[in-house]
Chains A and B, each alone.
Chain A
Amino acid sequence: MGPKTAQRLALHLVVSGKSSINRLISSLEEARDQIGYCSICGNLTDTDPCIICADSKRDKSVICVVGYPKDVLAIERAGGYQGVYHVLHGYIEPLKGVGPDDIRVKELLGRVKEGKGEIKEVILATNPDIDGETTALYLARALKPLGVRVTRLARGLPFGADLDYADEVTLAKSLEGRREM
């Protein structure tokens, strides 16, 4: 939030009535007291397991691995994904001293092992930047020996884009990641 937005919010708060401020306070308290982590996927939730993990219609054989809870929201908004999630709460970031033991890697490997063949596919939906890539590669190396299919989100041209307006780097990566039709 920039300083201008912050100022606008603060001014709005001081002039709004007592009752609306109290409602805000109680919502914040509610969030603080009731929201925790799902014991299965690690997503933020007010029930345990979370509604996605508890949903019997979701396909439990596919796990989509993301860095943060906001990524779950993004994929859910996109619709179409019927599997479940695993939230790492971070990426492997050597520059910040964050290693695989500092994020929820062990929990993921445990889930796949305990699934005893029930889990067929792990989709790595980490950011396409260097730390996201390092994390994805690390997970792929660790997951493959467990006999599970490991996939990575496609990279390349944005949907609805004009080919001649795409920058060279994106185009080169799209060519690398081309697929059979």
Chain B
Amino acid sequence: MIISLLLLQNFRNYPYLQLELKPGVSLFLGKNAQGKTNLLEACYYMSTLTSPRAEKESDLALWGASGFSLQGRLEDGSSTTTIRIDVSMTPSLRRRILLNDRPAKRQDLSLSFPCVYFCPDDLYMVKGSSALRRRFMDSLLSREDPVYAKDLSWYHDTVTRRNMALKKAPGDSSWEKTLETLEDLLVDTGSRVLSKRLRLLRSFTEYVKEAYEFISGGECHVSYNSSIGPIDEDLAGIRETFKKTLEKYRTEERLRGMTLVGPHRDDLAIVFRDKTFRYFGSQGQQRSVVLALKMAEARSFEEVFHTKPVLLLDDVLSELDDDKRSRVLSLCSFGYQILLTATDFPKDRGPGFHTFIVKDNNVTPL
């Protein structure tokens, strides 16, 4: 699918902006702090109601404005969808979502306008702690499956409650019984989360492998590292393993007052010739891996939503060598629309390459 029209009102540095977009690559070229990223951010917000960099909505509104509005026209084959999101901040935060002029819900957005966002900070997904890799998996799955999002938030809520009960339980029989109850809830929701993560990994592993090979010609493998021990997708099996592992950690968990095993402690292991990327990959290899993860995310969305997501690449080309850069840009020949920000012209601009100059709150086609 492609976004063919983008309209911003009071969003970031744009009081009003209307932009016609075409299939292929749209390059937003400009100096720093001109508002290039804001355009990609607007698209991402329309897809997820979150921003990749702002914590709260008030950061997204034009300075002094009490709200903002975003509109988009999406085309997928012969069908056209319009999205409109009005956000007002006073007296309290209110969002109105319209799909084809009819009220819609948050979860309808990722279905109508799937997006993959990639920025230089995503490198930490490989270099940084396991929490970032979990967040990547969770964000992907939550957008594909609202039930997963609900299960995950229940799971996290259960963990915090259980941690509290773990601190109170020693020597108190009624808290000990509460702990047993919370353990049932933990195992129940946690197992559902685990089963869905593993089901995702089944196809995702292959996507990452193919994407990495496409970008760098090398080999890379991702796998799920479960803190409760080896498991497969079978829900009943996961439950049993989860229970047994909790039993094993019984004393230590009570001693430390913390839930020590479960999906909130798991990791996505990225392995390159039997070595973990985090410690052994070069900067270039690590970049390729993040790119491969993002391409795999796009493939996964395509599988679930039956349309190619829009790729939002924020200032990532500058960090890649020529070869990898042209591979990334060649993705548009597979039918992906790419919105791209950069400070310099990339060398190899193929057909279907549209450049816009971003300067002084204005975006003009070149």
Which residues of A pack against B, CB within 8 Å?
92-95, 97, 99-101, 105, 130-131, 133-134, 137-138, 141-142, 167-169, 172
Q: Does B182 lie at the interface of the complex (its beta carbon under 8 Å from any beta carbon of A)?
A: yes
A99 in contact with B175 (CB, 8 Å): yes
The answer to whether A100 and B161 touch (CB under 8 A), given A134-B182, A169-B147, is: no
Q: Does B234 lie at the interface of the complex (its beta carbon under 8 Å from any beta carbon of A)?
A: no
A130 in contact with B168 (CB, 8 Å): no
Chain B residues within an 8 Å CB radius of A133: 185
Chain B residues within an 8 Å CB radius of A100: 174-175, 177-178
Q: Does B164 lie at the interface of the complex (its beta carbon under 8 Å from any beta carbon of A)?
A: yes
B interface residues, tally (CB under 8 Å): 25
Which residues of B pack against A, CB within 8 Å?
105, 107, 145-147, 150, 154, 157-158, 160-162, 164-165, 168, 172, 174-175, 177-178, 180-182, 184-185
Chain A residues within an 8 Å CB radius of B178: 92, 94, 99-100, 134, 138
A138 to B184 Cα, complex, angstroms: 10
Q: Which one of A130, A138, A142 has the highest number of Cβ atoms from chain B below 10 Å of its Cβ?
A: A130
Chain B residues within an 8 Å CB radius of A141: 177, 180-181
Q: Smallest CB–CB gap between A94 and chain B, Å? A: 4
Chain A residues within an 8 Å CB radius of B174: 99-101, 105
Chain B residues within an 8 Å CB radius of A169: 146-147, 150
| Residue on B nearest A102 in the bound complex, by CB | B174
Interface Cβ pair total, 8 Å cutoff: 59
Chain A residues within an 8 Å CB radius of B161: 93-95, 130-131, 134
| Residue on A nearest B165 in the bound complex, by CB | A94
A97 to B185 Cα, complex, angstroms: 18
Q: Smallest CB–CB gap between B245 and chain A, Å? A: 21
The answer to whether A130 and B175 touch (CB under 8 A), given A137-B184, A169-B147, A169-B150, is: no
4 cross-chain pairs, A with B, having the tightest CB-CB distances, nearest first: A94-B164, A94-B161, A138-B181, A168-B146
B158 in contact with A99 (CB, 8 Å): no
| Residue on B nearest A168 in the bound complex, by CB | B146
A134 in contact with B185 (CB, 8 Å): yes
Q: Which one of B164, B175, B181 has the highest number of Cβ atoms from chain A below 10 Å of its Cβ?
A: B181
B107 in contact with A168 (CB, 8 Å): yes
Known: A95-B160, A168-B147. 15 other contacts (CB 8 A): A93-B161, A94-B161, A95-B161, A97-B168, A100-B174, A100-B178, A101-B174, A130-B161, A130-B185, A133-B185, A134-B161, A137-B181, A141-B181, A167-B146, A168-B146
Q: Smallest CB–CB gap between B45 and chain A, Å? A: 21
A20 to B172 Cα, complex, angstroms: 53
A100 to B180 Cα, complex, angstroms: 13
Chain A residues within an 8 Å CB radius of B154: 130
A169 to B106 Cα, complex, angstroms: 13
Q: Which one of B154, B182, B185 has the highest number of Cβ atoms from chain A below 10 Å of its Cβ?
A: B182
Chain A residues within an 8 Å CB radius of B164: 94-95, 97
| Residue on B nearest A137 in the bound complex, by CB | B181
B107 in contact with A167 (CB, 8 Å): yes
| Residue on A nearest B160 in the bound complex, by CB | A95
| Residue on B nearest A138 in the bound complex, by CB | B181
Chain A residues within an 8 Å CB radius of B182: 94, 134
| Residue on B nearest A139 in the bound complex, by CB | B181
| Residue on B nearest A140 in the bound complex, by CB | B181
Chain B residues within an 8 Å CB radius of A131: 161
A167 in contact with B105 (CB, 8 Å): yes
Between-chain CB contacts (< 8 Å), 21 pairs: A94-B161, A94-B164, A94-B178, A95-B160, A95-B161, A95-B164, A97-B164, A97-B168, A99-B172, A99-B175, A100-B175, A130-B185, A134-B161, A134-B181, A134-B182, A138-B181, A141-B181, A142-B177, A168-B145, A168-B147, A169-B147
Q: Smallest CB–CB gap between A107 and chain B, Å? A: 14
Chain A residues within an 8 Å CB radius of B145: 168
A105 to B175 Cα, complex, angstroms: 13
| Residue on B nearest A105 in the bound complex, by CB | B174
